[in-house]
């Protein structure tokens, strides 16, 4: 009904414009022939109809685009739901396929990226035990690789096929998390957050990535953990975490603060050219440290820094206990880590 009214109105407007144009031309140019005046008026009226046609075509195009976008969103939602459902499948290859489907969805539909990262992190937070967790190989960087020797009485039981299959799935989740985070020439300005609280991760690599907040409270890190050239814009929280292998933080930028409260290090930590800002919470037992950790001016360092090799410490504020009363953003971030 509305379309018919608009069409009728455009036709009436076209007639009025044609008549008015003809009348004005005959009045302004008496020498102009009536046929020329009527022809010019008809062109003016036709222009009104043409403008209406263009508007109508643009409206139809926008409506079609909106319908297409709605259908795309619906398809994306269905893909996401199916992939998440497949994560509960008993077959490890199905779970791996579901993770790749989620990663593909995150790349094609950026609004899903944080959600997909949350799902992958949630998968890693699921309870997981591997027979090799109970062993202490000579080189902790090879935590999952010592061969089981039933002739040695001090060896734990051999890993089951199910454990090895689940390990493969979890390594896929870790790799996809790394691949989805922006790095290098990627211009994505979004800060993506990771929550690995209580997870068991192996050979976690976030080198060169740009991350928002990393929450890894009580997380157990096996093998080499790589934070080389990483950039954390929000706090990186490792409260109660255990690092069974080496930690590579070379050239890392922990600009939102970092907490190692009650963290345990079984191997060395490489802090060469690394920098921390806002706040730094140190563990009671310092690790074997390679290189110095640069502390930005104004950083609040909690607990006694004895045993740590810090640079710029003369510009930091050292706090041995939780401050009473109010405080700045650094205090709130450090208290939040508790």
Instruction: Tell me the pLDDT tens digit for each residue of 116-135.
Output: 999 999 999 999 887 776 66
Pure H helices in the chain: 2-28, 34-86, 92-108, 113-124, 161-180, 329-336
37/101 same-domain check:
no
Phi, psi of 209 (to 5 degrees): -85, 155
Residue 76 lies in a domain: no
Domain count of the fold of the chain: 2
Q: Which residue has the higher pLDDT, 289 or 33?
A: 289
Q: When comparing pLDDT for 153 and 174, which is higher?
A: 174
Do 129 and 250 sit in the same domain of this protein? yes
The mean pLDDT of 152-173, rounded to a whole number, is 79
Report the alpha-carbon distance of residue 207 to residue 183 in Å, rounded: 9
Q: pLDDT tens digits, residue range 99-122? A: 999 999 999 988 999 999 999 999
* Same domain for 253 and 206: yes
Q: Is residue 148 part of a domain?
A: no
Do 300 and 245 belong to one domain? Answer: yes
Judge whether residue 279 has pLDDT over 90: yes
| Helix, strand, coil percent values for the chain (each to nearest 5) | 45, 15, 40
Do residues 209 and 253 share a domain?
yes
Pair of tokens at residue 116: 């997909």
- Residues 202, 64, single domain; the answer is no
Residue numbers of the domain that contains 278: 87-142+161-182+191-336
- Is residue 58 very low, low, confident or very high in pLDDT (cuts 50, 70, 90)? confident
Kindly state whether residues 213 and 292 are assigned to the same domain: yes
Residue 305 lies in a domain: yes
Specify the pTM.
0.72
Q: Are residues 138 and 259 in the same domain?
A: yes
Contact 279, 255 (CB under 8 A): no
Q: Based on the domain organization, do 17 and 113 belong to the same domain?
A: no
Are residue 67 and residue 92 in the same domain, yes or no?
no
Residue 333: predicted pLDDT: 46
Q: How confident is the model at residue 174 (pLDDT cuts 50, 70, 90)?
A: very high
- pLDDT value at 139 more than 80: no
**210 has a pLDDT exceeding 70:** yes
Q: Choose among 178, 174, 214: nearest CA to 194.
A: 214
Bridge partners, residue 225, by sequence:
247
267 sits in the region (left: phi over 0; alpha: psi -120 to 50; else beta) called beta
Same domain membership, residue 277 and residue 128 = yes
Report the pLDDT value the prediction gives residue 326, as an integer from 0 to 100: 36
């Amino acid at each position: 009904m509305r379309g018919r009214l608009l069409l009728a109105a455009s036709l009436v407007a076209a007639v009025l414009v044609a008549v008015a144009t003809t009348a004005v031309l005959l009045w302004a140019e008496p020498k102009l022939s009536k046929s020329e005046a009527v022809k010019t008026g008809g062109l003016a009226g036709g222009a009104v109809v043409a403008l209406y046609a263009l508007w109508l075509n643009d409206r139809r195009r926008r409506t079609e685009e909106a319908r297409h976008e709605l259908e795309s969103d619906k398809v994306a939602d269905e893909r996401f739901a199916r992939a998440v459902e497949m994560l509960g499948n008993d077959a490890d290859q199905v779970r791996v396929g579901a993770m790749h489907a989620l990663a593909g969805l995150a790349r094609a539909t950026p609004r899903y990226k944080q959600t997909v990262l949350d799902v992958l992190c949630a998968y890693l937070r699921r309870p997981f035990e591997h027979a090799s967790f109970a062993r202490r190989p000579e080189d902790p960087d090879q935590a999952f690789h010592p061969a089981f020797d039933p002739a040695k009485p001090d060896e734990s039981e051999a890993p089951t096929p199910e454990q090895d299959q689940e390990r493969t799935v979890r390594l896929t989740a870790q790799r996809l998390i790394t691949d989805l985070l922006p790095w290098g020439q990627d211009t994505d300005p979004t800060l993506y957050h990771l929550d690995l609280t209580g997870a068991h991760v192996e050979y976690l690599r976030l080198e060169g990535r740009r991350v928002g907040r990393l929450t890894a409270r009580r997380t157990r890190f096996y093998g080499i953990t790589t934070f080389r050239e990483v950039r954390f814009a929000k706090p990186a929280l490792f409260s109660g975490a255990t690092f069974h292998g080496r930690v590579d933080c070379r050239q890392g930028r922990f600009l939102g603060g970092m907490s190692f409260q009650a963290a345990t290090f079984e191997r060395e930590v490489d802090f060469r050219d690394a920098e921390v800002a806002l706040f730094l919470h140190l563990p009671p037992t310092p690790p074997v440290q390679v290189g110095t950790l640069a502390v930005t001016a104004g950083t609040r360092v909690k607990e006694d820094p004895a045993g740590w090799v810090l640079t710029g410490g003369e510009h930091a504020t050292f706090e041995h206990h939780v401050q009473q009363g109010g405080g700045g953003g650094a205090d709130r971030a450090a208290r939040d880590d508790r």
